[in-house]
A and B are shown apart, each in its own frame.
Chain A
């Protein structure tokens, strides 16, 4: 197995970076968009609320694979041609935004309404209150589920292999085909996925511990 790992390392090395950056990149963009959608869902404007609700409903209610194929193979019909990596990044970002928005929203809603009132009473505006008072508390609540989303996202990058992105799963398929040692190859790749996610979970646990120590 070691010898196979060494043989496939030159390809795997790049593929690991593709997987990690695709996952982290989609997480960053998905978080920004997800936060926006979470705020829209709590808006006083019905239209914004409805738009956000539809977004979440559609992107959670359809398979990521279909979204990916639609962007990569569907959009060129309308003259929009995106490379495989860009397509994957967009699809993963849009998809994770739907889930992350729900995580953020439940975090925000878990903060006592008295926190808003105290902030407004001292003259803070909506955004200032959100930034200084609500989000620091909401993030504590949302962190475990947001961490779960990041882990899920890393695993979901494997779908990008379908549209020719050379990430870990696609390397495993290539090397498997070249050597017929599929079992070992997928075990290797599975182990790498697990290691990455284990690191991310450790980071999450560390942040969680630091945040909760002070408040109670």
Chain B
């Protein structure tokens, strides 16, 4: 069995009385493409964000890229935990629904920011790498553009290049196409599919049924803070899956105008 990149054990989180994550267990191996599906409010985004501690769970244990943090209710993070978090953040990348590009920097500067200010790569070297990455996502000609002058799809591709610049072991995608018009989604999904084919470990929260079906190794279905199903896409989208999933899939296609897939 190949190396575990993510190992989540007994992860729970609540906001007030509302239980968002209910004792979640999840293992993700190197090179796996895992798509997390589920209705809104199911806890899928919170689970994703708790993997790199943008959201901090209340209790449970997380091991991400070999860095382990154990959370206990009411106990603050120790300096060692903080160091583990800083280390695992350097080995993971995150792509956001709202892109979160740095508006005061050009596309190229966005891509190299992490290299320069986190990895202390000389600017000149980083620029060369940055141009390669922009070319990889098909935006070589947009290097000097500020984000305000890019389309949504282009922004998200710059954001993916920015994530790749840190040579991450895992990329976390938080609804990467949800803020995009349907005709702009494909250019982002194509880049993601290329990454999946290249063997990148990816965890993707999305509503893109067709992407899940074609590119995922595993589909996780969440509802009410629980992982209800963890299966292959074939099984998930197959006719033998249960009624709740069938209903979710039908609704998902209807919502996203992808009825003909």
A interface bracket (residues with beta carbon within 8 Å of B) = 20 to 34
Report if B226 contacts A (CB, 8 A): no
Report if B54 contacts A (CB, 8 A): yes
Selected from B92, B98, B104, the residue in CB contact (under 8 A) with A121 is: B92
Bound-state CA distance A212–B163 (Å) is 27
Selected from A114, A115, A122, A125, the residue in CB contact (under 8 A) with B114 is: A122
Decide: A122 near B93, CB < 8 A? Known: A117-B54, A132-B113, A216-B148.
yes
Bound-state CA distance A133–B104 (Å) is 8
Bound-state CA distance A112–B101 (Å) is 11
Interface of chain B residues 159 through 218 with chain A (CB within 8 A): 162-163, 166, 172
Selected from A114, A117, A128, A214, the residue in CB contact (under 8 A) with B104 is: A214
Using CB atoms, name the residue of chain B closest to A124. Answer: B118
Q: Contact: B118 with A123, CB < 8 Å?
A: yes
Decide: A121 near B102, CB < 8 A? Known: A215-B148, A216-B148.
no
Query: Can you list 11 A-B contacts with CB-CB less than 8 angstroms, sorted by A residue number?
Result: A114-B98, A120-B54, A121-B52, A122-B114, A122-B118, A123-B89, A132-B113, A132-B117, A133-B102, A137-B102, A215-B146
Q: Contact: A112 with B100, CB < 8 Å?
A: yes
Bound-state CA distance A125–B87 (Å) is 11
Minimum CB–CB distance from A136 to chain B (whole Å) comes to 5
Minimum CB–CB distance from A84 to chain B (whole Å) comes to 42
Interface of chain B residues 49 through 87 with chain A (CB within 8 A): 52, 54, 86
Bound-state CA distance A181–B104 (Å) is 54
Bound-state CA distance A140–B184 (Å) is 31
Selected from A115, A118, A124, A216, the residue in CB contact (under 8 A) with B94 is: A118
What is the 8 Å Cβ interface bit string for chain A, positions 202-216, against chain B (1 contact, 0 not)?
000000000000111
Chain B: residues with Cβ within 8 Å of the partner, total of 25
Minimum CB–CB distance from B47 to chain A (whole Å) comes to 15
Minimum CB–CB distance from B13 to chain A (whole Å) comes to 17
Interface of chain B residues 208 through 259 with chain A (CB within 8 A): none
A216 contact set on B, CB distance < 8 A? 148
Q: Contact: A114 with B86, CB < 8 Å?
A: no
B162 contact set on A, CB distance < 8 A? 122
Bound-state CA distance A95–B114 (Å) is 38
A-B contacts besides A117-B100, A121-B89, A123-B118, 5 pairs, CB < 8 Å: A112-B100, A118-B100, A128-B118, A215-B146, A215-B148
Using CB atoms, name the residue of chain A closest to B166. Answer: A122
Report if B103 contacts A (CB, 8 A): yes
Interface of chain A residues 89 through 145 with chain B (CB within 8 A): 112, 114-115, 117-118, 120-125, 128, 132-133, 136-137, 140
Q: Contact: B100 with A124, CB < 8 Å?
A: no
Report if B123 contacts A (CB, 8 A): no
Minimum CB–CB distance from B110 to chain A (whole Å) comes to 9
